[in-house]
Structures are given as C-alpha cells and as structure tokens.
Amino acid sequence: MQQPNFVFIMTDTQGANIIGAYGHPGLETPNIDNLARNGVQFDRAYTSCPLCTPARGGIFSGMYSNMAGPWANELSFRDNVKSVGQRFQDSEYRTAYVGKWHLDGHDYFGTGICPDGWEDAFWYDARCYLEELGVEKARLWRSGLNSLEQLKAHDIQPEFTMAHRVSNRAIGFLEQNDGSKPFLLVVSYDEPHHPFTCPPEYAERFEEYTYPVGPAAYDDLENKPTHHTEWANGHRQQVESHLESGDRWRDPLYFGCNSFVDHEIGRVIDAVHAYSPENTYIIFTSDHGAMMGAHQLHDKGPAMYEEITHIPFIIEAPKGMGGGVTNSTLVSHVDLLPTMLDLAGLEVPPVMAGQSLVPLLNGQEDPGKSVMIEFNRFGAVHEYMGGLQPIRCIVSDHYKLVINLLYTDELYNLAEDPAELNNLIEHPGYTDIRNALHDRLLDRMHEILDTLRGPCWERRPWRDTRRFPWAGGTRPLHADGYAPEVLDYQTGSPDKYV
C-alpha cells in the first residue's frame, strides 16, 4: 500500500472563535472554511497547553510538554524525545519544516539552525526571516507597524511578511518534490500573532468591525482564582483600549492579520491540490487562542477559558474523501501525531499521550472521550504572566474541571454556562460530578507519568482523599519505540516494575 503524504499547516494565536467555519463568517477566513467543507472539522478540539512552546511540544511529540521537556516558553525537547520529523524521517519520509519553530530553547525567533529530523535545505524559522530582513526592517517588523497608518506609511506588501515567505518556501517544496518518497511538510505561520503584520488593505476591512465577546466580558472574577485578577490588573489598559460598548472587541490589525494568514494558507492548499500526489492529507490547527477581553483578560496565559483553549482542528483526506463532516468528539493536540502515524501504517508507541483519530475520520464519534490541558509557567527566562502557575484541566462532555494547584479551583457547566461565569467548585449540587472528574484527571496524570503528579493535586480544600499512595513503587517510562527497555532500579534487569 502506498504511504500517504502529509501537509501540516498551523498558525499562532488563532482560536476557533475567529474562524468562519466555527461560527464567525465576518472574520473572512474563506480558505480555512473551504478546507472544513472538504474535510473533517472537529468542533471540540483543545490545545494541550494555551501557550506557544508547550502547545508545539504536544503537537510535535504526541506527549504533554511536562513530559516532553518544553513546559514553558524558551525550553526545548528533552534529548531522548523524538519529534514528528525524526519519526517520519526514520520511516523513509522526506521531512521539511518551514516557519515558526519556537522549540529550540533559545528565544522567540530560534537559532536559524535546522534540528535533527528535518531537511536543512528547506529549514526556515523566524531567525532566518530576520536575517533576510536586515536590522532596520527587522526593527520595523517588531515595533514599527503598530497601526493601520504605519502599515500604509511603509507600504507593507505581502512580500514583506513572514507569512508570504513561508508560503513561498512551502510551495517551492511541493513544486520540486519528485514523488520518489512519501513526505511530511510542516508549514508553521507566526501570524496572526503579534505584531499582526499584514498588508494594510486587510486591516482596513476591519476598521469598523467589532467582535462580540459576549457575557464573558462582564465577568467580575468573583469566586475565581486570584491570579486571574492579577492578570486582569496587569493588562487593564490593553483591554480597555480595545473593548467598546462593554462587550465589543475592536482590533483591526489582529483581525486583518487573521484574514491575511488565511489568504496565505489558501496559496499552500492550492499548491497541494496542484502539485501533490492524490494520497495527501492536509491537517490544520493552531497552538491556542487569545482572550480578547473575556474575563477582563488579554492575550493568553495561565487559565483554561474557552477563548484560549478551544482551537480549530481540520483534516482533509485525499480527494476529499469523507469531507464535509463535523465531528463533536473531544480531541487534543496530543492526538495529532498518533493519528498521522496510524494513517501512515506506523506504530504508535505507548509513550504518546493521545490516541489515533482514524476511526473518527471514518465517521465514528466517541462521546465518552475527555481531554486534559496543562499549564506550568509562561516563560523560563522572563517574568511575563507571574511565574510558576501549575494547572491541570479536564474537559468532558458538558463539564470542565480546573485544578489551579496554588489557587482556587474551578468547575463549569459548559452546556448551561458556555461563558464560564459561574464557578461551581463548591456547589453542593455538583459534588458527584466534580469528584468523578477529579478522579478522572488524577488517573490521567498517573497514566501518562505527569512530571508534576502527586498528592498535592488530590489534597484540595473541597476534597481530601487519596487515590494513589504517597510512597509507592517505581514505574518505568512508557516505551517510545527508540530507547532500550528501562531497567529495574533494584536489580538492573528488564523485569517489569510493580
């Protein structure tokens, strides 16, 4: 059987709530919308962490970042963690990565050095883009294009942007590919992340547009974790500068850049259809969303609200087979790599925290599935967003439980309270639901060998029980398909631990 090709497209800071296919057609994302019409659209997809680097860690390793290594920005994979590129390259695939990486532990832009698992000839991260721009244009990109007037004054054209150059390199790969090997092409856009650089005509379309934040804009943060109020106080000026009429968010650069990156994505999709063999899957997602004034918050960070955790997730099968389907099963970033391996007929190793979604692509749904989301720290070398914030969250069919290890916990009934205003964590009518979700989350942390697992997650103000012993036996790491079998600490033999 011929192995399939994969074109994996991702953006940065593009929640499901700013995609037309997910209910907001006024935001003008026709190419992503068309991909959804031709593919399987997962309506309840969640990030593994609402932060750039850890989310990418989950996407490209199939593991939660607390285990894979990049559990905060400016951290990289552990040396023994194999990325999607390494796994597919070792299975005789051509592997090319074009665009934002943010996983080398260096800085926001990267090093410009191609890591193991990818073809050096096509490697192109943000450092490569900066070097192409030169010092003055790089400064302009980062700090000189903060308004529609500045975009016009500098006559910003598509060719200036990182998005356009990333698309060009991706299209170049597709044009020159000779079909001698199956391939994996990752196309990773920085956009619509700040500084929201786009040609001015895109921002102009949204000068009068205001996004309906809804009831979440009026959250007084009573009965919420203290760090949400601290976050809100630290960004009050930014929120107030964008919110109008109480719950309308005006941000023409962000929305313009969102529509512009959709245009660039369309260029790549067209090239896939024109140049790629018919057995090619197109996968699209984003790392996380943006708060946009919901719950008085700006940007992304240590919270589990829908605005930053609910992400777009679309898979177009070859020839559009099974297209035009919406699947309501809960899915996660960590399901992506197991799905790709399964589609390629490759083994999914036990170390991966997710599961293959191939049955869902074939029309099945799994209403009993839940997803876990984590947060640990915003950045390793800067103090943005308040330092250590260990959080674990579980989302089920109708409920979301959030354990804020250092603060007040949260429970929301998403079916009745989609704006997540009413924290039910101490509500006596929800004790059984809360405790069942708590058990499910603890089991999940135990199952995946969550690095921060321990009694502290069980010992909550509203519950003090023990699901796991404080001092237990040693358990081996899950097999990754590469490393030798873990040896018993006491005997040095490959005997199974208890």
Q: Which residues are catalytic?
A: 52, 102
Three-state DSSP class for 184?
Answer: strand
Contact 340, 283 (CB under 8 A): yes
Read off the DSSP letter of residue 247: T
Radius of gyration of the chain (CA): 22
**Facing residues of 459 across strands?**
464
- Beta strand 183-188 with 5-11 is parallel
| Tokens encoding 492 | 């040095």
Neighbour count for residue 146 (Cβ, 10 Å): 14
Residue 295, sorted as left (phi over 0), alpha (psi -120 to 50) or beta, turns out to be left
Backbone angles phi, psi at 252, to 5 degrees: -60, -30
Sheet arrangement for strand 248-249: 211-212, 248-249, 243-244
Read off the DSSP letter of residue 73: B
Q: How far is residue 303's CA from residue 298's CA, in Å, rounded to a whole number?
A: 11
CA–CA–CA angle 119, 122, 123 (5° rounding):
80
